[in-house]
A and B are shown apart, each in its own frame.
Chain A
Amino acid sequence: MSNTVKKDQEPSKLRSFLSSDTFKGLLPFIGLVVIVVVMNILTQGKILTPKRLRLLLSQVYYPMIVATGVFFVMTLGSIDFTEGSTLGLASIVISKLSFTSIPLAILGGILTGAAIGAINGFFHVKFKLQSFIITICTMFLFRGVCAYLTTETAVPASAAIKALDQNWLKITITVAVLLVAWFLFRFTRIGNDVKAVGSGETAARFSGVKTDRVKFLTFVAAGALTGLAAFVNVIKVGSITATAGNQLETQILISLVLGGLPITGGAKVRFSNIIVGTLMYTVLNNGLVMMGFESQTQQLIKGVIFLLFVALTIDRKALKVIK
């Protein structure tokens, strides 16, 4: 009974500013600048050297491609935890196929990802199961499959595909993915439909949005993009071990949240969340490494920052009961 909630206390000015949409929209950009400046000071300017920047950039490509797909899933208000295992499995498929034909390998990777996405989407839509439960199940399932396929040795990729490890190619692919996704999000009804499902699924259905189809296809697309990201991963690393893509799902989740994506999805998502978030995560990650922190300290700091950003950016109005 929301009407019994007392509303008569005036929130303080600072508080109302902190919870305003303007602030929430600006926060990621402020965060990015702050993190770059802070890291630059703490590392005595080492993070902004051309060599470092190039290294930084090389870590951005495939997470950014994956984050683009997950961005759409999270706009639905759903969540996807399968990126890591999808990337691992798709990388294995690509590596194996790379001995036959490279275009076939790329296609195989994308199809592998799409198939996993389709499984997620099918269970989510058909059985009306929460996406986080489904994707955790499938994450485990495919993580196991990856481990099984790499039990004996790592899976090597062909020399031909490794030869493609060129910055221009990776940049082209990443930029192309971002541009196409941005275009679809802004200039076709895909963006509107996905946002509408995220903000109010029932009303969207009553307005003629084919909600089940939108949800299913979004999961398929996210999987397919992860499959494409696997290609970028394979040309970089060359041979796939059981740990390929480990923790990618958390990295992406944290990146998007840092980028200001409200965990509730819906109308308040911004496409810039993907770029700002991925950059922020990478700078943060590199800065922490350069400052010589051990991995546990890095993780502690990331965990705290993650919780802080969720608490600041979440749209509590969109949640009727917080579970």
Chain B
Amino acid sequence: MSNTIEKLKASRYYGLVLLGAMLLFFYGVFKILTPSNFGSLSNLYTYLQASIIYSVGGCGLYFIVVMGLFDFAVGANIVLSSIVGVILSQKFGYAGFILGCLGCGTLIGFLIGMLYNSLNVPSMIVTVGLMLIFESVAVFVAGGVKQTLGENLRFFSGAPGNIILALLAFLLMYFILNYTKIGTYCNAIGSNEFTAKNMGINVKKYKLIGFMLLHFFVGIMAILTVSYGTTMTALTGMSTMGRNFQPLMGTFFGVAFRKYKMPITAIVVGEFIIQIIFNGFVALGAPTTIQNVVTGGALLVIVSLTARGGKGSVVK
């Protein structure tokens, strides 16, 4: 009997059911509390469109987080890459926009990875410093003015453009995780760096690849973000910090559901759940400033459930 339960728990369907139950639970709670202005089909469609943007970033962060690393420069790079993309789009149209965002994104990832590898300083610290730097670079690049995406370049602003691009990103993620060595090696490095090294894995190289992949996805996220909002303003003063956490929440879902072999589904559904909670509160009449409270609270609950250290482990 207990054996069948164990087996059931091990199957990926158990993970799916778990995710589905969470989704239904939060949807149900808010639907009961405010039946009229929450959770209609068109509402849900809106929540979904917002959530997939974060899911894309969540996918990228997955590579870094499974290795036990961290990146605070994601937000800064979203801003920087989208500004570069918008500026290039003014000359080269869609090609400039897309390649600008993706190219700038990946280049930043390369810089972060190289600097992390050569400085030998925890990733969290390096990326805090780089966040400051990239934020100011973004202001320089933008020339201190608000950058607006041209009217003729709004394919990704709404459905189906945004959904198509996000789906492509998820497919790419699925491909990398399942059909290249990168996914395997990132997991191996995260599990035990010494053993991984011993198995002939070039740890530094794969950490660099991890940062580059993350920021390639950040580039995609930049396309979606600036298309969704149509403008982007570069600001200094750690104003991009907040942009780090929405993708991160999805990533934590992904890591938590890794054992069911469905990180991408978990990231996407997780982000959707967060959107439901946030919009549920708004529907209840809470001001939009509540978003930070929801973000912080939800992240706290998620990490408490998923990222706990074992007994006797030293946690700093």
How far is A297 from B132 in the complex, measured between Cα atoms in Å? 10
Contacts A147-B292, A319-B122, A323-B69 given: A303-B307 contact, CB under 8 Å? no
* A139: B residues at CB distance < 8 A: 296
Determine how close the nearest CB of chain A comes to the CB of B316; give it in whole angstroms: 4
What's the Cα separation between A79 and B128 when bound, in Å?
Answer: 13
- Interface residue stretch chosen among A61-69, A166-174, A179-187, A308-316: A308-316
In the bound complex, CA of A124 to CA of B309 (Å): 10
- A151 contacts B315, C-beta separation under 8 Å: no
* A307-B129 in contact (CB<8A): yes
B297 and A137 contact, CB distance less than 8 A: yes
Q: Is the interface of A mostly helix, strand, loop or mixed?
A: helix
- How far in angstroms is the closest Cβ of chain B from A141? 3
Residues of A near B68 (CB, < 8 A) are 321, 323
Interface size on B, residues (CB 8 A): 56
Task: Give Cα A4–Cα B194 distance, bound, in whole angstroms.
Answer: 11
User: When the two chains form their complex, are residues A145 and B123 in contact, meaning their CB atoms are under 8 A apart?
Assistant: no
User: Contact between B121 and A311 (Cβ–Cβ < 8 Å)?
Assistant: yes
Indicate if A252 sits at the interface (CB-CB under 8 A).
no
In the complex, which residues 44-99 of chain A have their Cβ closer than 8 Å to any Cβ of chain B?
76-79
Contact at B287–A151, with CB atoms within 8 Å?
Answer: yes
B-contacting 9-mer, from A100-108, A127-135, A277-285: A127-135
Cβ-defined contact, A144 with B125, below 8 A:
no
Select A124's contact among B67, B123, B293, B315, beta carbons within 8 Å. Answer: B315
**Cβ–Cβ contact B315 & A148, under 8 A:** no
Residues 138-162 of A contacting B (Cβ, < 8 Å): 138-145, 147-148, 151
Residue on B nearest A321 in the bound complex, by CB: B193
CB within 8 Å of A: which of B271-302? Answer: 287, 289-297, 299-300
Return chain A residues, CB-CB under 8 Å to B289: 144, 147-148, 151, 242
**CB neighbours of B3 from chain A (8 A):** none
* B132 contacts A299, C-beta separation under 8 Å: yes
- Residue from A202, A299, A310 within 8 A of B236 (CB atoms): A299
Pick the contact of A263: B125, B307, B313, B314 (CB < 8 A).
B125
CB distance from B221 to the nearest CB of A (A): 19
In this assembly, does A247 line the interface, its C-beta being within 8 Å of a C-beta of chain B?
yes
Q: Is the CB of B293 within 8 A of A145?
A: yes
Q: Is the CB of B122 within 8 A of A263?
A: yes
Minimal Cβ-Cβ distance residue in B for A313: B121
B293: which A residues are within 8 A, CB to CB?
Answer: 140-141, 144-145, 148
Do the beta carbons of A202 and B125 come within 8 Å of each other?
A: no
| Residue in B124, B125, B237, B297 whose beta carbon sits within 8 Å of that of A141 in the complex | B297
> Which of B137, B290, B297, B308 touches A129 (beta carbons < 8 Å)?
B308
Report chain A residues within 8 Å CB of B131: 303
Residue of A nearest to B234 (CB): A296
Considering the chains assembled together, what is the distance between the CA atoms of A132 and B128 in angstroms? Answer: 12
Chain A residues lying within 8 Å of B229, measured Cβ to Cβ, are none
The distance from the CB of A152 to the nearest CB of chain B, in whole angstroms, is: 9
Given known pairs A140-B299, A246-B237, A296-B140, the reply for A322 and B292 (CB within 8 Å) is no
Contact A136 B236 (CB under 8 A): no
Q: A163 within 8 Å of B by Cβ?
A: no
What CA separation (Å) do A142 and B292 show in the bound complex? 8
The answer to whether B126 and A307 touch across the interface, beta carbons within 8 angstroms, is yes
Asked whether, in the complex, the Cβ of A128 is within 8 Å of the Cβ of B316, the reply is no
In the assembly, what is the distance between CA of A123 and CA of B47, in Å? Answer: 30
B314 and A201 within 8 A (CB)? yes
Are A307 and B296 within 8 A (Cβ)? Answer: no
Complex alpha-carbon distance, A184 and B186, angstroms: 45
How near does chain B come to A307, taking the closest CB pair, in angstroms?
A: 4
The answer, yes or no, to whether A306 is at the interface (CB within 8 Å) is yes
Least CB distance from A311 to B in Å reads 5
Interface status of A14 (Cβ within 8 A of chain B):
no
| Complex CA–CA separation, A144 to B70 (angstroms) | 23
Kindly list chain A residues whose C-beta atoms are within 8 Å of the C-beta of B237. Answer: 246-247, 295, 299
Q: Across the two chains, which residue of chain A brings its CB closest to B69?
A: A323
* B310 closest partner in A (C-beta): A128
State the Cβ distance, A146 to closest chain B Cβ, in Å. Answer: 9
Assess the B316–A129 pair: CB atoms within 8 A.
Answer: no
Known: A134-B303, A299-B132. 6 other contacts (CB 8 A): A128-B315, A141-B297, A250-B238, A296-B144, A299-B236, A323-B122
| Residues of A in contact with B (beta carbons under 8 Å apart) | 1, 76-79, 123-124, 127-134, 136-145, 147-148, 151, 201-202, 242, 246-247, 250, 253, 263, 265, 294-297, 299-300, 302-304, 306-307, 310-311, 314, 316, 319, 321-323
User: What 9 A-B pairs come out closest when comparing CB atoms?
Assistant: A144-B292, A128-B309, A141-B296, A140-B296, A303-B132, A144-B293, A147-B289, A296-B139, A296-B136
15 residue pairs of the A-B complex, CB under 8 angstroms, read A76-B316, A127-B309, A130-B307, A141-B297, A144-B290, A144-B295, A144-B296, A147-B289, A202-B312, A253-B128, A300-B137, A306-B132, A307-B121, A310-B121, A314-B121
